[in-house]
Amino acid sequence: MTVRTLLVDDNKTFLAAVRNFLLMVPDVEIVGEAHDGWTAVELAKTLNPDLVLLDIVMPEMSGLEVAQALKDSSHPTRIVFLSMHDSASYRTAARELGAFAYVGKGDFVVDLIPIIDKLAELQ
């Protein structure tokens, strides 16, 4: 089953790296990209992705605020945080918001495949 994915990160270079990596993964369809939290929430509402890969630290609206807004929306979506800020407090906040996983940006190539495989099985 294909996992419809929305990519969200204010670092366009990192976002391009994630996109290029995911284009090689058979069970992933990238349905949209956002570079800020406000756009992420709007795209998630209109595109109804199965998965949102979400940075935590972004200007204007943090990834945690985006996760809260998506948690309150009518369409359930899984959130995987991709962050270079790998702290216990961020991991706890992500867990409390119901995040499916938390992945360090440096580890995304290794860690995302098993997560996506698990999501595809749940579809």
pLDDT at 75: 75
Q: Which amino acid is at 15?
A: L
Q: Report the chain's terminal Cα–Cα distance, integer Å.
A: 6
- Dump pLDDT digits (tens) for 12-37: 999 999 999 999 998 899 999 999 99
Strand partners, 29: 4
Q: What is the pLDDT of residues 67-122, one digit of tens each?
A: 999 987 777 799 999 988 878 898 999 999 999 999 999 989 999 999 998 888 87
Q: Are 94 and 102 in contact (CB under 8 A)?
A: yes
CB 63 within 8 A of CB 8: yes
d(CA 103, CA 91): 9
The encoded tokens of residue 121 equal: 């099985």
Model pLDDT, residue 119: 86
Length of the chain: 123
Please, where are the H alpha helices in 3-107? 12-22, 37-47, 63-71, 88-96
Q: What is the pLDDT of residues 53-69, one digit of tens each?
A: 999 999 889 999 999 99
Note the pLDDT of residue 73: 76
Q: 7-46: b or e for each residue (b if 16 or more CB lie within 10 Å)?
A: bbbbeeebbeebeeebeebebbebbbbbbbbebbbebbee
At the fourth CATH level, which superfamily is domain 3-117?
Answer: Response regulator (3.40.50.2300)
Confidence of residue 42 (pLDDT cuts 50, 70, 90): very high
